[in-house]
Amino acid sequence: MKKQGLHVPVVIISRKEADAHFGFLSTLAALDIPRSSVATQELLGWRPVHPTLIADLQQSHYFSN
């Protein structure tokens, strides 16, 4: 996967691989899966006005010296 920003390599792994790698911590992390954006917007009547997380992080000002 392409390295961006901090130039830290990123890999995509399956839930099974995450369980094997992180042990009990993967179970805790899985409990924090947020609702979908659509469900959150409907539940709270909220509409985002700012860029998405990924779009915001892709702005160069976060990683410029």
What does the chain come to in residues?
65
Residue 56 confidence (pLDDT):
85
Residue numbers in the chain where pLDDT is lower than 70: 1-4, 32-35, 65
Please state the domain extents for the chain. Answer: 15-62
Residue 23 confidence (pLDDT):
92
Tokens of residue 41, six digits: 């917007």
Residue 20 confidence (pLDDT):
94
pTM over 0.75: no
Written as one string, the DSSP assignment of 2-61 is: ---TTT-------HHHHHHHHTHHHHHHHTTPPPPHHHHHHHHT----S--HHHHHTSGG
